[in-house]
A and B are shown apart, each in its own frame.
Chain A
């Protein structure tokens, strides 16, 4: 049963060539939805089929895709997100970076499933999508401006109800840490996706849509959504912890387990954790919650620091700009986080890279005034990074390149060139395997085993054990790939099971999708990403953690542990159906309908 609104299958793929300024609309091939749903899966498939191996991510040959999914702007909770898929300048891998806010819903309401930007413009431009009207407009007036001013100016120039996804100076200067910002405070932060926009001289996409969005089976969706909302309400994480404290609720929890990376992962316990915790944020700075489109959880925060209204800060940002650099001033962290938002920089990677610099200084590898625990000069350094000035230009390449340049590659806490987030892998074996095998590098979201290993969701599993972890990592990687292709928020994962996602995906697309089929779609996406990366030259040796994680932490509740990747990786490859070098077998690729 379908209603009269626009279905996902009727949405368009909008091809925008910035080189010759042509705009073309195409229908979504049915098999693309059936095999890859939308969002991340759709983007990965298009890149795999169309990008030549070995291209420079910052060249006109790279594509950048802004995609939504079958659930976007429907009644599915949290379905207002969008995903950016491109070849990453930070990692050289295929990359998907996600943001909340309201932009995704506007894009979908304009009748678009994905905007595929190719080529490069000679002068700064922005894309104005106003329902069926699409224009490439001059952006020279906002080029060089921070993301907040850019957002305000482009809304003034278009429609007060429009939503903006834009880059700041960091993206314009094509630094590897550049993010894409939307609604001023939400970021598609990771992988340098902002730099790819900058390389194309694309300052922003502005979207306004007024179409009513429909689904293939509205009755089924209504039932599943009712149930999904109940589950969010009944779950302690989604109904209490996240709404009350936001993501920083994790800070004290992770610290008490001795796995809060401190001083560039030299320690796992931060003495002043309480001072930068979610509880302290609530008491001191937080003013109100921020809910993304269609979200009943509301984990976002709007805070006030040093007399200024700022977004966040989120857990990962507090960690990277705080304990990672030995800093315990929560208000300063909020200001530094805001600075990153304005400049359009990934807070995780910039904080981790600065922490790496601090350790280089500590070990006498580099002479500089930056030192652990001292905020002096960091805000200026962040400015320098965004504008690619002086030492900042070197830091803007990320910790992997920077540390190697100074003769200490082992001090970069990264996987495949992407800085590792706020969980020391020595304290969580499954999560460690997730870092090592992530297709986009050091990422906590491809397989968030912090759920079962730390938070007991859905059940607590022994964080120190390697038994069964390969199996769970694969389950979470496949499910995450499917969730990112529907496109919904990762936090629903605390409340919903595989079956819930499958029910909603089936209702939105009209396809026969049960839990196993959804995981198969996720597996297909995962394996296609793997094939993309293999084509780019990645091998088994890239599925590894920095050597630091083979040395035990000296103290705290995760002391005397190392990340046992070598124990888990063979089992992981075997369960994936890959050979000993990590190559998917022909049989598997055939089963998944992936061309060889």
Chain B
């Protein structure tokens, strides 16, 4: 894949969503985003007003999470959050989908939830976080279709607080489902340029990460050797390998593990790599 350092930087949402985040940290985040010309800063609602002020003369967007990180609040509450942060200047809203409703197959509620946020977002872009680690592939496809139907601008893999991060497998399915007209944002566990390039290759056009600077700086190594991109063992990037019964619904966990039994790369499934 040929992508410049600058192009890679333009895919990154420079992210800080931890509860202990201070104003000083937000200031640093914004300064770094301007230095590296990242696409956006992704922050919690309490910091939106400050970030908007700091970034007012730059091209860096302010992205705010809504219904975060569980997505288990009411559509009206998510809508109100959205209206408020957009009024404060947020350019983008990353909402968390109602995952429980999706698993209940209450698709109307899932759609209404997204529509409420889209309606409240004005000119701001809406990205819908599916939390892919809580669902199987079929549910992911359904979730993508609902989001598209509800008028969202992006689908997004994960909150970073859930059971799994973004994987090329999930991103590929999401891109194939929503087509070219929507964006696909990958977030959660993306720490290196190799992971970022793989995710982009799978179809993502936005990456959420708190490690953006490391990704960009380390990408400068790529010009000195092609060997960085040597293929890894297939299990390294497979969501089935990341499945965790302590964090996932039992049937989701077992679905992932079932796939290992029929995986063509089964011989790589050793626990010493």
Contact = CB atoms under 8 A, between A and B. Distances in A.
Interface of A: 231, 234-235, 258, 452, 456-465, 467-469, 471-472, 475, 495, 497-499, 515, 519, 556-559
A497 B218 CA distance: 7
Interface string B224-261: 11111011110010000000000000000000000000
A475 B226 CA distance: 11
B226 A231 contact: no
A498 B224 contact: yes
A460 B230 contact: no
B181 interface: no
A469 B220 contact: no
In the complex, the 7 A-B pairs of residues with the closest C-beta atoms, listed nearest first: A468-B227, A458-B218, A459-B194, A459-B192, A557-B272, A468-B230, A497-B220
Contacts of A515: 223-224
A590 B102 CA distance: 68
Contacts of B228: 452, 458-459, 461, 468, 472
Q: Which of B191, B230, B231, B233 has the most CB of A within 10 A?
A: B230
Q: Could you tell me the dominant secondary structure of chain A's interface residues? A: loop
B161 interface: no
A498 B217 CA distance: 10
B223 A234 contact: no
B33 to A, nearest CB: 13
B213 interface: yes
A519 B227 contact: no
Q: Is the interface of B mostly helix, strand, loop or mixed?
A: helix
A469 B271 CA distance: 22
A471 B233 contact: no
11 contacts: A234-B213, A456-B192, A460-B194, A460-B232, A461-B228, A462-B230, A462-B231, A462-B232, A463-B273, A499-B220, A519-B224
Contacts of B195: 459
Given A235-B214, A258-B272, A471 B193 contact: no
Contacts of A463: 273
A464 B273 contact: yes
Contacts of B217: 231, 234, 495, 497
Given A459-B192, A498-B221, A498-B224, 15 more contacts: A231-B217, A234-B213, A456-B192, A458-B218, A458-B221, A459-B195, A459-B221, A460-B192, A460-B194, A460-B232, A462-B230, A464-B273, A475-B224, A495-B217, A557-B272
A458 B214 CA distance: 8
Nearest to A257: B272
Contact of A468 (B193, B214, B223, B226): B226
B12 to A, nearest CB: 14
Interface string B150-191: 000000000000000000000000000000000000000001
Interface residues of B, number: 25
Contact of A462 (B214, B223, B224, B233): B233
Nearest to B218: A458
A490 to B, nearest CB: 16
Contacts of B227: 461, 467-469, 471-472
B193 A462 contact: no
Nearest to A236: B214
A472 B218 contact: no
Contacts of A499: 220
B232 A461 contact: yes
Choose among B191, B195, B224, B271 the residue with the greatest number of A CB atoms under 10 Å from its CB: B224
Nearest to B230: A468
Contacts of B220: 497-499
A498 B271 CA distance: 34
A519 B221 CA distance: 12
A499 B221 CA distance: 9
Nearest to A560: B272
B232 A458 contact: no
Nearest to A496: B217
B214 A472 contact: no
B224 A461 contact: no
Nearest to A556: B272
Contacts of A558: 272
A468 B229 CA distance: 9
Given A458-B218, A497-B220, A559-B272, A465 B193 contact: no
Interface string B20-42: 00000000000000000000000
Contacts of B236: 460, 462
A570 B44 CA distance: 54
Contacts of A556: 272
Nearest to B271: A557
A503 to B, nearest CB: 11
B215 to A, nearest CB: 9
B268 to A, nearest CB: 10
A458 B271 CA distance: 23
Interface in B192-222: 192-195, 213-214, 217-218, 220-221
Contact of B193 (A231, A235, A452, A458): A458
Contacts of A458: 192-193, 214, 218, 221, 228
A27 B217 CA distance: 38
A472 B225 contact: yes
A231 B217 CA distance: 8
Contacts of B273: 462-464
Contacts of B224: 475, 498, 515, 519
A430 to B, nearest CB: 9
Contacts of B193: 458-459
A467 B231 CA distance: 9
Contacts of B221: 458-459, 497-498
A475 B225 contact: yes
B272 A465 contact: no
